[in-house]
Amino acid sequence: MSFYVTPRRSGETRIHKSSCSYCKDGKGVGSIFKVRRNNTVWSPPLATLVEAEAYARNHHHGKVVRCRHCLAPSALYRR
């Protein structure tokens, strides 16, 4: 499993797991969120949540948030 980072139109940067239905290993979204400014840009796969958060802070401005679907606190412990 890996993590992906993507900026959102709201200015937030969101972190997803590769298994997230919104992410699909970096191939998801686009049509779902209808990002018109640039294309939806997914980060390369990141091995850990810590790395993903560091990547988000280094590459994007604004708030870094975790996806509520795949990275909800309960989901993290469900493995």
Rank residues 21 and 57 by Cβ distance to Zn ion and give the closer one: 21
CB nearer to Zn ion: give 22 or 33. 22
Q: Token digits for 69?
A: 């679907």
The residue type found at 31 is: S
Query: Closest separation between CB of residue 1 and Zn ion, Å?
Result: 12
Nearer to Zn ion, 49 or 54 (CB): 49
Say which residues have a Cβ less than 8 Å from residue 1's Cβ, sequence separation at least 6: 17, 18, 19
Task: Give min distance, CB of 42 to Zn ion, in A.
Answer: 11
Q: How far is CA 16 from the centre of its chain?
A: 4
**Shortest Cβ 72–Zn ion spacing (Å):** 9
Alpha-carbon gap, residue 57 to 2, rounded angstroms: 18
- Positions touching Zn ion (CB under 5 A) are 16, 20, 22, 67, 69-70
